[in-house]
Amino acid sequence: MTLRLAIVLPTLDERENVAPLLARIEQALGPRGWEAIVVDDASADGTADEARRIARADPRLRVIERIGRRGLSSAAIEGICATAAPFVAVMDADHQHDPALLPAMLAALEGGECDVAVASRYIPGASAAGLAGAGRERGSRLAGRLARRLARVDLSDPLSGYFALPTARARAIAPRMSQIGFKVLLDLLASAPEPLRVREFPLHFAARRSGASKLDRAVAFDFLVGLYDKTFGRIVPTRFALFGTVGGLGVLVHLAVLALLFRAGDAAFVPAQAAATFAAMTFNFWLNNWLTYRDRRLRGAVALLRGWAGFCAACAVGALANVAVAGLLEGHGVHWLAAAGAGIVVGAVWNYALSSRFVWKRR
């Protein structure tokens, strides 16, 4: 039977969910005509190994294990680009998305009824009961309202993680996608050169079958990052904007520690300044690791200590560049404020470049 549909399953610590989900997919689609692609971000629980074990006996399952890179959007794109199937679906592997919708979604695409088939939690006949609490459901609805204008389509659930579309169309849009801090569907719709025709299917959003939810404060922050990227990312790169914002917060931390030690305490200025500097650099490293480089987050005491030392070294070099450029400009008659501003920009770019390359290993 000809391959018709590929189901891309981005995974992180979903070992116990893979085999039961494949059984549900087979129940929905039958034994042939489809393949599933697990795109695993080096799960600590051995998800990729479990998927490979299953794949040795079931050629309908393929595995892509990613080393040194993470993120739902980029994982989905890698899976989409890895299949020869004419249609592709993206869904979670935690059983919150019901595979029983796949035949109807595929039929709508093959019949030309829509460009994208979306499983929605918010249309008649659907349910969002699987969302962890009323607060998360309200937050999802609010984010959806904010996202519709960006998506340029009338869609009840633009943040849905369960959708399907022609593979060729997805591959054509992929180079324009952000792949940073974004819900995949919203990223895809906002990146399309023209508005796409969408049809929604009612989804009963279920509770997670096994494992822990991946939603944390950084995931929620991803949505705002994605909005920024699509609005201003071509002017100031998103990751650099995040790095600069963290740096601005670090200045406040520096001044607060300095005031506490020097003004409110009995410390001399130089030791207080040194302590404030290390406090600000430590704060900046922690927040950059948690947000700016979330897809390359350092984990474990050794990695964090090594990363912190590298970050401090990078910032020290950036500080020297800052002072050198500002001093040179001021010495040539540039107003001191303009010279200082230029020094800050040069130092920030230098810190960003060194940190990206040598701390978080991003070229």
Q: Please indicate, yes or no, whether residues 222 and 297 belong to a single structural domain of this protein.
A: no
Q: Please indicate, yes or no, whether residues 137 and 84 belong to a single structural domain of this protein.
A: yes
Q: Please indicate, yes or no, whether residues 211 and 273 belong to a single structural domain of this protein.
A: no
What per-residue confidence (pLDDT) applies to 216?
46
Q: Please indicate, yes or no, whether residues 65 and 81 belong to a single structural domain of this protein.
A: yes
Q: Please indicate, yes or no, whether residues 265 and 329 belong to a single structural domain of this protein.
A: yes
Q: Please indicate, yes or no, whether residues 223 and 86 belong to a single structural domain of this protein.
A: yes
Q: Please indicate, yes or no, whether residues 95 and 13 belong to a single structural domain of this protein.
A: yes
Q: Please indicate, yes or no, whether residues 94 and 143 belong to a single structural domain of this protein.
A: yes
Q: Please indicate, yes or no, whether residues 228 and 257 belong to a single structural domain of this protein.
A: no
Residue where one domain finishes, among candidates 190, 217, 232: 232
Residue where one domain finishes, among candidates 232, 258, 276: 232
Q: Please indicate, yes or no, whether residues 23 and 156 belong to a single structural domain of this protein.
A: yes
Provide the residue range defining the domain that includes 186.
5-232
Residue where one domain finishes, among candidates 184, 203, 232: 232
Give the number of C-alpha atoms closer than 13 A to the C-alpha of residue 35, restricted to the C-beta side. Answer: 22
Cβ atoms of residues 129 and 176 within 8 Å: no
Tokens found for residue 65: 């294990």
**Chain position carrying tokens 């998305």:** 97
Phi, psi of 86 (to 5 degrees): -70, -20
What's 171's domain CATH number?
3.90.550.10
What per-residue confidence (pLDDT) applies to 109?
97
What per-residue confidence (pLDDT) applies to 140?
55
Task: Kindly give the parts of the chain with pLDDT less than 70.
Answer: 129-152, 179-182, 207-224, 226-227, 265, 362-363
Q: Please indicate, yes or no, whether residues 206 and 73 belong to a single structural domain of this protein.
A: yes
Q: How many domains does the chain have?
A: 2
Tokens found for residue 180: 């940073």
Q: Please indicate, yes or no, whether residues 15 and 159 belong to a single structural domain of this protein.
A: yes
